[in-house]
Amino acid sequence: MSVWMAETLIATTLLMALVMMVRRPVARWLGAGAAYMLWVLPFARMLLPTLPRDVVIASPLHVAVNQSGLPDMLAIAPMAQGGTPDAGIPWLEIAIGVWMVGLIAFLIVQTVGYGRFRRYMLDGATPLGEEGRIRLITSPHASGPLAFGVLRPYIVLPADFALRYDSQEQDMAIAHERAHHERGDLAANMVALLLLAVHWCNPVAWIAYRAYRADQETACDARVLALYGRDQAHAYGRAILKAAGGRQFAAACHLTRITTLKGRLKMLSTHETSLHRISWGMAAVAVVTATGLALTASGSRAAQQMAAITEKVEAVDLTRLGDLVTRPAVAREAAPAVPAPPHAIDAPSDLMPPPAPYAPVPPAPNAPVSPAEDMIAPIPPAPPVPPVTVRTEKNRITVTHANGRVETHDIPTEADIARMVPRVDVRNGCEGNQTVSKREYVDSDGRRNIRIRICEDAIEAQANDAGQAGLRAAR
């Protein structure tokens, strides 16, 4: 069990580091959904059972056992249980104990924190209705829209939701939180917290958890934009900015997390990923997941080096036991040897006579076979498949298939590719009284540029005005 756990911790750490290295290129070329699906890899590796190792079957040899050595072994057993006075400090047992205490403490803190958060949100809440199993409520303690609950799903809206958001922003914010429930993100977050509890002392796991939550929100944003259209990205960006701020809870899915605000706004202005890229992206993620699980599975050849390191732990106790076995004289003084009985197991082999040899049986004569029966008609070879002809011209490629169908594709140049991908610049700055300003222009090279400026002063002033309006409405 300890060997399997050590292998699993090392393998999941390596897989989390791998996902963090490739998540941004995958999101750029294959879409935010493909980058989010990469996190299945460390989760699945944590649940992967041990693969069967090579089994060696011993040959059925007759081994004579002498019982005269059993008293010596029985005499050594009491001292092996008692241990030696000069035994060292069991550092391994102490480390495992500390790890178990940290794991249990982490789970207790998360469980108690979720219970307090749930009571805090439901205290003074007003129900608005239900959408299937999902309950919509408004809570005075929510600073922005959020979703929580696995068995009893909730979407919580702030008390001033109707004042701060227009009708379009309200629909998109609720669609974002509803997408979290439909995709099972709340249950995935529970599994992620369990994995983080196992890796509570691993800094790579904490960094990976924050990256996982960021990819989760970005994938949900992409789903909402696919539902409402890219032309609604500006309104959706306003809804995200209005929900910025407030306390964040690990058990819930907030509309806006401060740490992922810049990356999500940048994603809103990028070009739309084609369906062809999404299909290839999902296929690539499936191949990477299967390959990663196969290479890091316990019992595979790739995991034997990790197993050799962890199996050294068991050699420590065997060495201490070997030191006790090398002193048989003391053991004989503690327990006198008992003479072996005359009917020992290693009895002479002449008690059982060998079996009589079998009499040879004369072979039966073969019946003559006619030449016609021995001959089998030859099978004609299959006709060869005509090859596929590929002809490449300047900036164009022509493919001729076996069925005669001809396809011609234009090869884009580097300049064409650069013009297809816009350059996005997101900075802090104010242009007038707008909270978010967006300007697009085409440079001399024909490349589209998108400049986004986020005015923190305007956001703060708008938040203050909304708060004062809420106070006046409450009065």
In this prediction, residue 284 carries a pLDDT of: 60
Let me know whether 405 and 428 are in one domain: no
Residue 457 lies in a domain: yes
Let me know whether 251 and 391 are in one domain: no
Residue 400 lies in a domain: yes
Whole-number Å distance between alpha carbons of 388 and 401: 5
In this prediction, residue 138 carries a pLDDT of: 96
- Split at pLDDT 50, 70, 90, the class of 379 is low
Residue 164 lies in a domain: yes
Which token pair is 9?
A: 């911790």
Whole-number Å distance between alpha carbons of 211 and 217: 10
- Domain C-terminal end among 309, 329, 344: 309
Residue 467 lies in a domain: yes
Half-sphere exposure at residue 296, Cβ-oriented, CA atoms within 13 angstroms: 27
Q: By C-alpha distance, which of 107, 155, 116 is closest to 134?
A: 155
In this prediction, residue 400 carries a pLDDT of: 80
Let me know whether 404 and 452 are in one domain: no
Domain count, the chain: 3
| Contact of 246 with 270, CB cutoff 8 Å | no
Which parts of 39-166 fold into alpha helices (H)?
Answer: 40-47, 70-82, 91-122, 161-164
Enclosing domain of residue 170: 2-48+91-309
In this prediction, residue 415 carries a pLDDT of: 73
Whole-number Å distance between alpha carbons of 174 and 171: 5
Residue 331 lies in a domain: no
Residue-wise pLDDT for 316-363, tens only, equals 443 443 443 344 343 344 444 444 444 444 444 444 555 555 555 556
- The pLDDT of 198-213, averaged and rounded, is 95
Let me know whether 145 and 207 are in one domain: yes
Determine what percent of the chain falls in helix, strand and coil, rounding each to the nearest 5. Answer: 55, 10, 35
In this prediction, residue 78 carries a pLDDT of: 45
Q: By C-alpha distance, which of 247, 224, 262, 216 is closest to 144?
A: 247
- The pLDDT of 398-418, averaged and rounded, is 76
pTM to 2 decimals? Answer: 0.56
- Split at pLDDT 50, 70, 90, the class of 416 is confident
Whole-number Å distance between alpha carbons of 299 and 186: 33
Let me know whether 441 and 292 are in one domain: no
Residues 6+ apart with CB under 8 A from 41: 15, 18, 19, 288, 289, 292, 293
Residue-wise pLDDT for 261-311, tens only, equals 667 777 776 645 544 555 565 566 666 666 655 555 555 444 455 445 445
Share of the chain above pLDDT 90, in %: 32
**Strand ranges (DSSP E) for 184-262?**
253-254
Residue-wise pLDDT for 27-86, tens only, equals 888 888 899 999 999 989 888 765 555 444 444 444 444 444 444 444 444 444 444 444
Let me know whether 399 and 264 are in one domain: no
Whole-number Å distance between alpha carbons of 430 and 87: 70
Residue 420 has pLDDT above 70, yes or no: yes
Which token pair is 366?
A: 């073969």
In this prediction, residue 397 carries a pLDDT of: 75
- Domain C-terminal end among 279, 309, 339: 309
Most confident of 202-216, 248-262, 362-376, 398-412: 202-216
Residue 205 lies in a domain: yes
Let me know whether 148 and 226 are in one domain: yes
- Split at pLDDT 50, 70, 90, the class of 88 is confident
Let me know whether 127 and 12 are in one domain: yes
> Could you tell me the CA-to-CA distances from 80 to 70, 320, 334, 338 in Å, in that order?
15, 9, 13, 20
Residue 315 lies in a domain: no
Whole-number Å distance between alpha carbons of 462 and 165: 12
Let me know whether 401 and 286 are in one domain: no
Which parts of 254-389 fold into alpha helices (H)?
Answer: 261-268, 275-296, 304-310, 312-325, 328-334, 371-374
Name beta bridge partners: 191.
Answer: none
Residue 184 lies in a domain: yes
- Domain C-terminal end among 289, 309, 329: 309
Let me know whether 292 and 402 are in one domain: no
Residue 464 has pLDDT above 70, yes or no: yes
Q: Across all residues in the chain, what is the average pLDDT?
A: 74
Residue-wise pLDDT for 98-151, tens only, equals 999 999 999 999 999 999 999 999 999 999 999 999 999 999 999 899 999 999
Please name the amino acid found at residue 363: P
Let me know whether 115 and 175 are in one domain: yes
- Look at 432 and 345; give whichever has higher pLDDT: 432
- The pLDDT of 87-92, averaged and rounded, is 79
Let me know whether 137 and 235 are in one domain: yes
- Look at 202 and 8; give whichever has higher pLDDT: 202
Q: By C-alpha distance, which of 421, 309, 423 is closest to 29?
A: 421
In this prediction, residue 419 carries a pLDDT of: 74
Whole-number Å distance between alpha carbons of 256 and 140: 18
| Beta strands at 436-442 and 423-428: parallel, antiparallel or unpaired | unpaired
> Could you tell me the CA-to-CA distances from 352 to 59, 93, 347, 431 in Å, in that order?
21, 53, 10, 105
